[in-house]
Amino acid sequence: MLERNDDDGLWIRRFADAQDAPCRVVCFPHAGGSASYFLPVAKALAPDAEVLAIQYPGRQDRRHEAGVTSLVALAGTITSVLLPSLDRPTVLFGHSMGASVAFEVARRLERAGTVPLALFVSGRVAPTRLRRESVHLRDDAGLLAEVKKLSGTDARVFDDDELVRLVLPALRSDYTAVETYRFEPGPRLEAPVHAHIGDTDPRVTPDEAADWCEQTNGRFTLHTYSGGHFYLDAHRAQVVRAISEVLVPA
């Protein structure tokens, strides 16, 4: 298990001045991703909402730390870090691996008596729709080939051997965490769940995303956009608008 760390400066990045905003959005990155992926989202939502972007260990300024290979342990630690910051209505948004992390964080928050305003799950199958995958067991070339296929990383990164060496450990630990994660049945969330996917995403079909409805007692919606696993890059404005619409009642 990860040790609890109450210093949110280690785990949370704030990219826009919105500390007095009436609500917050917590963003969870994809496998191999970092908090900075959500910088445009933070700027788009400020000053109406403060974005707290989660920085997993093993990347960027945390590159000297070991990555986390247990998604459940990761969610538990993030929950303990977040709880003191949830003094106002909060939305959780996770993309790909981040969607699973956000879901497990939402479950723990609700058990602690804090119900998120909503959970947004992007580019990820419902937790009951298990895909048995073993990308994390491939050699370095095989792992990088999978990342290239999803087109979520600047292609220039793969031409720089030093950068590749820097990102590989985090990639492998993240893929290990997400591919070994197994859903444990439990109470449904009270928070509404909103699923967002790309229509050509090889990682999730509309049917697999639709089963997220089984995880909430609240409202469920499914939004489909043109594009693949990183549809979000081209449709960020639409997704931000969807989040903003949830925040308005807050």
Catalytic residue among 34, 80, 96, 226: 96
Check if 80 is active-site: no
Query: Which residues, listed in sequence order, are joined to residue 54 by a DSSP beta bridge?
Result: 12
Q: Hey, how many other C-beta atoms are within 10 angstroms of the C-beta on 240?
A: 19
Structure-token match 């639409």, residue found: 238
Q: Hey, how many other C-beta atoms are within 10 angstroms of the C-beta on 123?
A: 27
**Residue 184, class by beta-carbon neighbours within 10 Å (0-12 exposed, 13-18 middle, 19+ buried)?**
exposed
Tokens of 36: 């900075």
Structure-token match 């043109």, residue found: 226
User: Can you tell me the distance from the alpha carbon of 170 to that of 61, in angstroms, rounded to the nearest whole number?
Assistant: 12
First to last CA, the chain: 35
* Ranges assigned E (strand) in the chain: 12-13, 24-28, 50-54, 90-95, 118-122, 193-198, 220-225
Catalytic positions are 96
